[in-house]
């Protein structure tokens, strides 16, 4: 028999974030008292008025194929939203609606990158960026950063990573997994490099409404609007409106790139779900107070988690400035022994230990390109966060 699986997929790892969240949910369903601090989704329910819009769509029979790139009114609403949030003008033809921001990113990578290309990925990075780049045949080039610099890479290191093969760079601010924002200075520096070397920028703005400093969304185009022809913005309703399961995201950028993404979509998944598109339309055009409520809750929990973690000797982290993630350095405990005799030597063994001993689920930093840290999600109730952190503290005390 011939080799069963294509080379492309033999190397492909499952998404660590999805896998761990699923494991934590399964253990909980078995009755084990797990505190799940691994979740990459809001713990809130989708707001009622959004659900009602979907129910209405079903009742009215809005259940057929839609145009591949999305229903015109949703593409229009997204363009309006970009104008409101970023002060940038786009036409509906410069918007494509996909099955989640993840699919928008995947299709974009297919449209832009190929064999021989290099794509700059800033570590710590969201788990799926390197595989998405690799599945397009290109090579992710990882640029590291330090917690002391709030996980912002040195511009000089970024510049050194650029070669004639550099075709793109992926930005995500506020960032999953660090919860940090890139500074305006950094974004300006990146913009200069993009201009000089002509590479494309994918701006993953999925957490743009979840920043805690009271400022509106900012990205590379707000500091350098002249990069319009080489920047594509990605966003969606998952995080902003607690709609992860509805699978609606989008890409906004130059018309020819968006048309290419739509062609790929037309030959793979076709349109995003018709009903979910109607729900997303209501999310964008209906009342917006749900965002404020959720953001205030995340902001309060960020402080709670930060303060509790800082009470544990040896743990170190910058305070989250957005999202619902903290990225915590546990490496002071590496080399120590668990009661069973296992030496905890990296983020994977530390995560396993915390799940076994403390019954707390977290995500190993290695999945995000930094083995010193674990990602701790605060998309959970205050009491769960407090209980989870104190259990982590107790488990760490048991290490020899």
Give the binding site for ligand GLU (CB under 6 A): 15, 17-18, 40-41, 102, 126-128, 176
Please tell me whether residue 208 binds ligand PMP under the rule CB under 6 A.
no
Phi/psi at 184 (nearest 5 deg)?
-60, -35
Per CB under 6 A, 171 contacts ligand PMP: no
Write a three-state SS string for 198-252: CCEEEEECCCCCCECCCCCCCCHHHHCHHHHHHEEEEEECCCCCCCHHHCCEEEE
Task: Report d(CA 20, CA 38) in Å as an integer.
Answer: 7
The residue among 198 and 245 lying less far from ligand GLU, judged by its C-beta, is 245
Among ligand GLU, ligand PMP, none, what binds residue 240 when CB lies within 5 to 8 Å by partner kind? none
Which residue of 238, 271, 274, 380 would you call a contact of ligand PMP, by CB under 6 A?
Answer: 238
Residue 23 to residue 294: CA distance in whole angstroms: 26
58, interface contact from ligand PMP, ligand GLU, none, CB < 5-8 Å by kind: none
Six token digits for residue 156: 């000089």
CB of 39 to ligand GLU, least distance (A): 7
Distance CA 201, CA 284 (A): 25
Question: Which option in ligand PMP, ligand GLU, none does residue 231 bind, with CB closer than 5 to 8 A by kind?
Answer: none
Among ligand PMP, ligand GLU, none, partner that 101 touches (CB below 5 to 8 angstroms by kind): ligand PMP
Near ligand PMP by CB under 6 A: residue from 79, 123, 171, 206: 206
- Does 204 engage in binding with ligand PMP (CB under 6 A)? yes
Least distance from C-beta 326 to ligand PMP, angstroms? 14
Please count the other Cβ atoms lying within 10 Å of the Cβ belonging to residue 289: 9
Smallest gap from Cβ 156 to ligand PMP, in A, equals 25
Indicate the residue among 194 and 276 with the shorter CB distance to ligand PMP.
Answer: 276
- Shortest separation between residue 242's beta carbon and ligand PMP, angstroms: 11
Query: Is the distance from CB of 239 to CB of 41 less than 8 angstroms?
Result: yes
> Cα–Cα distance between 169 and 337 in angstroms, integer?
40
Q: Which is nearer to ligand PMP, 284 or 344 (CB)?
A: 284
373 touches 329 (CB < 8 A): yes
Select from 42, 140, 179, 249 the one that contacts ligand PMP (CB under 6 A).
249
Choose the contact partner of 15 out of ligand GLU, ligand PMP, none; CB within 5 to 8 A by kind: ligand GLU
Q: Which of 100, 168, 253, 388 binds ligand PMP (CB under 6 A)?
A: 100
126 binds ligand PMP (CB under 6 A): yes
Q: Which of 21, 36, 176, 265 binds ligand PMP (CB under 6 A)?
A: 176
Among ligand GLU, ligand PMP, none, partner that 236 touches (CB below 5 to 8 angstroms by kind): ligand PMP
The CB-of-16 to ligand PMP minimum distance in angstroms stands at 12
Q: Which residues contact 72 (CB under 8 A, 6 or more apart)?
A: 92
Hey, which residues does 93 pair with through a beta bridge?
A: none
Interacting residue with ligand PMP among 140, 217, 236, 364 (CB under 6 A): 236
**CB–CB of 229/80 below 8 Å?**
no
Minimum distance, C-beta of residue 5 to ligand PMP, in the bound complex (Å): 25
Query: First vs last Cα of the chain: how many Å apart?
Result: 51
Backbone dihedral angles phi then psi of residue 251, each to the nearest 5 degrees: -125, 140
Q: Both tokens of residue 372?
A: 């010193």
Q: What does 204 bind: ligand PMP, ligand GLU, none (CB cut-off 5 to 8 Å by kind)?
A: ligand PMP
Is 165 strand, coil or helix? coil
DSSP run (H or E) holding 107: helix 100-112
Provide, rounded to whole angstroms, the least separation between the CB of residue 21 and ligand PMP: 10
What does each C-alpha distance from 212 to 63, 201, 281, 301, 330 come to in angstroms? 38, 25, 25, 11, 25
Cα–Cα nearest to 139, from 108, 116, 122: 116
Residues lying near ligand PMP in the complex (CB under 6 A) are found at 40, 100-102, 126, 172, 176, 204, 206, 236, 238, 244, 249
């Amino acid at each position: 028999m011939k080799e069963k699986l294509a080379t492309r997929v033999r190397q492909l790892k499952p998404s660590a974030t999805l896998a761990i969240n699923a494991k934590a949910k399964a253990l909980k369903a078995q009755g084990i008292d797990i505190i799940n601090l691994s979740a990459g989704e809001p713990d809130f329910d989708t707001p009622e008025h959004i659900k009602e819009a979907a129910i209405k769509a079903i009742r009215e029979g809005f259940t057929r194929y839609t145009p591949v790139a999305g229903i015109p009114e949703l593409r229009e609403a997204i363009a309006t939203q970009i104008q409101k949030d970023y002060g940038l003008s786009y036409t509906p033809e410069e918007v494509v609606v996909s099955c989640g921001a993840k699919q928008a990113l995947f299709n974009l990578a297919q449209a832009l990158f190929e064999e021989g290309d290099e794509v700059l990925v800033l570590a710590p990075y969201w788990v799926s960026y390197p595989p998405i780049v690799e599945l397009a045949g290109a090579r992710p080039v990882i640029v590291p950063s330090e917690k002391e610099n709030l996980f912002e890479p040195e511009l000089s290191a970024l510049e050194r990573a650029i070669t004639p093969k550099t075709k793109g760079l992926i930005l995500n601010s506020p960032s999953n997994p660090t919860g940090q924002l890139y500074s305006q200075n950094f974004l300006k520096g990146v913009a200069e490099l993009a201009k000089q070397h002509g590479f494309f920028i994918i701006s993953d703005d999925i957490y743009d409404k979840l920043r805690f400093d009271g400022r509106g969304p900012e990205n590379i185009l707000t500091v350098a609007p002249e990069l319009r022809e080489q920047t594509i913005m990605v966003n969606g309703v998952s995080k902003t409106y607690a709609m992860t399961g509805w699978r609606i995201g989008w890409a906004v950028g130059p018309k020819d790139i968006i048309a290419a993404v739509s062609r790929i979509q037309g030959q793979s998944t076709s349109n995003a779900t018709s009903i979910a598109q109607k729900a997303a339309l209501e999310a964008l055009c209906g009342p917006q107070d749900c965002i404020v409520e959720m953001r205030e809750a995340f902001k309060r929990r960020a402080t709670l988690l930060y303060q509790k973690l800082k009470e544990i000797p040896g743990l170190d982290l910058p305070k989250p400035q957005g999202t619902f993630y903290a990225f915590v350095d546990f490496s002071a405990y590496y080399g120590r022994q668990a009661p069973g005799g296992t030496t905890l030597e990296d983020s994977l063994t530390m995560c396993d230990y915390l799940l076994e001993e403390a019954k707390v689920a977290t995500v190993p930093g290695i999945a995000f390109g930094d083995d010193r840290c674990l990602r701790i999600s605060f998309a959970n109730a205050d009491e769960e966060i407090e209980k989870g952190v104190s259990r982590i503290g107790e488990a760490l005390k048991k290490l020899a």
